[in-house]
């Protein structure tokens, strides 16, 4: 393994390591724009120039590999002068409109200017004007004046999605990013170009002018759009999610997420069921707990456990499911289980999975398989035939087309007791004898198991909307009111027992993010 000295720090690195990566290993930042760890290396921005002892010219650290005995300086006078020159060149025609730029606060150009340049512009002539606020695709807006021509966006479309929409057109200070004539930047992952654009040249239509980034709080979470479970930063402000951004995990989604999943945050705030209701009348948790305990106890006692159905949701976390299982088996002692959740949809051969539920594998791990669940059509048949007269349902998503869903909405009228425990309002909540508001994944912590069996924790971002509670806490309340109390107080107690008792693996630490 070659030994290399970087600013007086000697380290040993793998053969083939670039100077930029070796410097990062030794604890030194080498500023860079065009280099991104997931893309090819064009070495076109020259921001990463370093001095290599014995070499006549400065070398691009992103491209040059270390050799044994190499001595590198990342902060010498020559390097500092080159960094200032590169930044001055990039900023020559830049509008410096940081005050109205969405990237301000997370912009590499802004950060590097402060750290490596910090000199006044010497330009006295008028700046070049280029295209502003150009809709380069349905979800992405391009600003030619802010673009530093690093080509990250072009390489993303060529190398990651293979859709090749973008090209560099014109030359010199007229150069800009464009799509081919008649084309748009319109692939399933197009907003990833916004994530990797180091400046504010590409912005996401949905997030533009919504919130200054320094006001955002960021919570590590998981996208609930499909069973891939892409790791995300859930960025929020005053109890409202402002955007999802992909979080690096080489086992699951690398640096990326799909455009559709990115917008699923809206479901957290749309049409929420905010308060418990009993026959449509708002009640408090104390009142509804007593009512539920009476009604559930009567339903099982009067009609028998065979007439009681329970719908489990693959949208819920493993912790919720683990207590649902105990509630079903120990408190209600019923065994007619049905599986809810969203119906299958589009999939591709990259990240997007046909299963639009984040935790089907979690259901299998907690319940020891999926064989004991009847499907949703069977549930409707069982209600219509009068075999099921009482139903407890988690969440409102049903794996059915619109027609079958309508059939279910009508069938619900036949039930003697319908208890719904859900995030969302809608026709089911309106018909429920008891409607119980449950938290979204943003308002509680928990674990999802993705399509490949990887257990992934998510954190609580903000306090629950309205009176909603995590599913597991609702089961705890009802179990206690029905004289079968569970012995948990905190979620980690559930997790400790759950990971021992089920097939769900305990989540592992996510790999550290390499410098972008």
228 lies in the binding site for ligand SF4 (CB under 6 A)? yes
Q: How far apart are the C-alpha atoms of 404 and 436, rounded to whole Å?
A: 24
Pick from 226, 273, 334, 364 the residue near ligand SF4 by CB under 6 A.
226
48 lies in the binding site for ligand FES (CB under 6 A)? yes
Q: Which does 516 bind (CB under 5 to 8 A by kind): ligand SF4, ligand FES, none?
A: none
Q: Which does 46 bind (CB under 5 to 8 A by kind): ligand FES, ligand SF4, none?
A: ligand FES
**Residue 443, C-beta contacts closer than 8 angstroms, at least 6 positions apart:** 460, 461, 462, 463, 464, 465, 468, 470
Strands 434-437 and 277-278: antiparallel
Please, which of residues 455-494 interact with ligand SF4 by CB under 6 A? Answer: none
State in angstroms the smallest separation of the CB of 29 from ligand FES.
Answer: 12
Give the DSSP letter string of 121-185.
----SPPP----SEE-SSSEEE-TTT-----HHHHIIIIIS----EEEES-GGG-EEEEPTT--S
Stretch of 29-37, 66-74, 365-373, 413-421 contacting ligand FES, by CB under 6 A? 29-37
Q: How far apart are the C-alpha atoms of 384 and 388, rounded to whole Å?
A: 8
**Residue 465, C-beta contacts closer than 8 angstroms, at least 6 positions apart:** 239, 269, 272, 274, 437, 439, 440, 443
Q: Which does 228 bind (CB under 5 to 8 A by kind): ligand SF4, ligand FES, none?
A: ligand SF4
Pick from 91, 177, 234, 292 the residue near ligand SF4 by CB under 6 A.
177
Q: How far is CA 63 from each of CA 44, 166, 270, rounded to the nearest angstrom?
A: 10, 23, 47
Task: Kindly tell me the burial class for residue 37, based on how many C-beta atoms sit within 10 Å of its own C-beta (0-12, 13-18, 19 or more).
Answer: middle
* Cβ proximity to ligand SF4, 137 vs 437, nearer residue: 137
Stretch of 77-85, 209-217, 255-263, 313-321 contacting ligand SF4, by CB under 6 A? 255-263
Helix, strand or coil, per DSSP, at residue 84: helix
* Cβ proximity to ligand SF4, 175 vs 305, nearer residue: 175
Q: How far is CA 498 from each of CA 42, 504, 509, rounded to the nearest angstrom?
A: 49, 8, 18
* Cβ proximity to ligand FES, 24 vs 43, nearer residue: 43
Pick from 230, 365, 391, 394 the residue near ligand SF4 by CB under 6 A.
230
Annotate each residue in 61-80 with x if it binds ligand FES (CB under 6 A) or - if it does not, as one string: -x------------------
Helices (H), 224-281: 259-262, 266-269
User: Long-range contacts for 404-410 (Cβ within 8 Å, ≥24 apart)?
Assistant: 404/376, 404/377, 404/380, 407/380, 408/376, 408/379, 408/380, 408/383
Give the DSSP letter string of 182-228.
T--S-STTTTHHHHH-SSTTEEETTTTTT--GGG-EEEEEE--SSTT
Pick from 107, 202, 288, 411 the residue near ligand SF4 by CB under 6 A.
202
Please, which of residues 125-154 interact with ligand SF4 by CB under 6 A? Answer: 147-153
State the residue for tokens 């990259």. Answer: 350
Q: Which does 257 bind (CB under 5 to 8 A by kind): ligand FES, ligand SF4, none?
A: ligand SF4
312 lies in the binding site for ligand FES (CB under 6 A)? no
Stretch of 114-122, 347-355, 414-422, 464-472 contacting ligand SF4, by CB under 6 A? 347-355
* Cβ proximity to ligand FES, 48 vs 157, nearer residue: 48
Q: Which does 442 bind (CB under 5 to 8 A by kind): ligand FES, ligand SF4, none?
A: none
* Cβ proximity to ligand SF4, 234 vs 352, nearer residue: 352
- Which residues does residue 221 pair with via DSSP β-bridges, in sequence order? 232
Stretch of 5-13, 111-119, 257-265, 418-426 contacting ligand SF4, by CB under 6 A? 257-265
Q: What strands lie across the sheet with 9-12, from one edge to the other?
A: 9-12, 3-6, 70-73, 49-52, 59-60
Pick from 6, 13, 26, 34 the residue near ligand FES by CB under 6 A.
34
State in angstroms the smallest separation of the CB of 192 from ligand FES.
Answer: 19
Q: Where is 242: in which H helix or E strand?
A: strand 240-246
Contact residues for ligand FES (CB under 6 A)? 32-35, 43-48, 60, 62
Contact residues for ligand SF4 (CB under 6 A)? 147-153, 177, 197, 199, 201-202, 223, 225-226, 228-230, 253, 257-258, 260-261, 351-353
């Amino acid at each position: 393994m070659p030994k290399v000295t970087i600013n007086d720090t000697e380290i040993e690195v793998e053969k083939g390591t670039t100077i930029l990566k070796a410097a990062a290993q030794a604890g030194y930042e080498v500023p860079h724009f065009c280099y991104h760890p997931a893309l090819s290396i064009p070495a076109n921005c020259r921001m990463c120039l370093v001095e290599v002892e014995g070499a006549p010219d400065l070398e691009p650290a992103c491209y040059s590999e270390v050799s044994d005995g190499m001595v590198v300086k990342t902060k010498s006078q020559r390097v500092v002068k080159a960094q200032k020159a590169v930044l001055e060149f990039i900023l020559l025609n830049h509008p410096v409109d940081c005050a109205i730029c969405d990237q301000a606060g997370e912009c590499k150009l802004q950060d590097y200017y402060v750290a490596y340049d910090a000199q006044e512009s010497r330009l006295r002539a008028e700046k070049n004007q280029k295209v502003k606020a150009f809709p380069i695709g349905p979800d992405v807006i391009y600003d030619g004046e802010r673009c530093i021509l690093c080509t990250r966006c072009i390489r993303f479309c060529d190398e990651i999605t293979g859709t090749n929409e973008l090209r560099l057109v014109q030359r010199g200070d007229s150069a800009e990013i464009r799509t081919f004539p008649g084309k748009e930047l319109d692939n399933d992952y197009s907003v990833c170009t916004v994530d990797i654009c180091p400046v504010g040249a590409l912005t996401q239509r949905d997030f533009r002018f919504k919130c200054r980034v320094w006001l955002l709080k960021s919570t590590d979470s998981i996208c609930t759009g499909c069973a891939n479970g892409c790791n995300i930063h859930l960025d929020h402000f005053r109890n409202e999610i402002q955007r999802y951004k992909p979080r690096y995990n080489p086992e699951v989604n690398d640096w990326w997420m799909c455009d559709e999943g990115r917008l699923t945050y809206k479901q957290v705030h749309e049409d929420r069921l905010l308060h418990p209701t009993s026959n449509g009348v708002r009640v408090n948790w104390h009142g509804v707990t007593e009512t539920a305990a009476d009604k559930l106890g009567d339903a099982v006692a009067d009609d028998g456990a065979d007439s009681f159905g329970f719908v489990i949701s693959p949208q819920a976390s493993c912790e919720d499911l683990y207590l649902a299982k105990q509630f079903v088996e120990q408190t209600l002692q019923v065994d007619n289980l049905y599986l809810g959740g969203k119906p299958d949809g589009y999939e591709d051969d990259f990240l997007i999975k046909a299963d639009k539920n984040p935790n089907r594998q979690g259901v299998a791990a907690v319940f020891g398989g999926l064989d004991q669940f009847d499907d949703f059509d069977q549930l409707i048949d069982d209600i219509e035939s009068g075999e099921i007269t009482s139903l407890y349902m988690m969440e409102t998503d049903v794996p059915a087309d619109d027609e079958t869903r309508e059939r279910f909405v009508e069938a619900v009228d036949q039930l003697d007791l319908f208890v719904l425990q859900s995030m969302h309002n809608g026709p089911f909540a309106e018909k429920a004898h008891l409607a119980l508001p449950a938290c979204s994944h943003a308002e509680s912590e928990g674990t999802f198991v993705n399509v490949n069996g990887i257990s992934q924790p998510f954190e609580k971002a903000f306090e629950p909307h309205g009176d909603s509670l995590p599913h597991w806490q609702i089961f705890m309340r009802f179990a206690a009111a029905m004289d079968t109390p569970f012995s948990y107080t905190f979620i980690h107690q559930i997790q400790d027992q759950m990971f021992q008792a089920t097939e769900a693996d305990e989540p592992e630490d996510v790999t550290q993010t390499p410098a972008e």
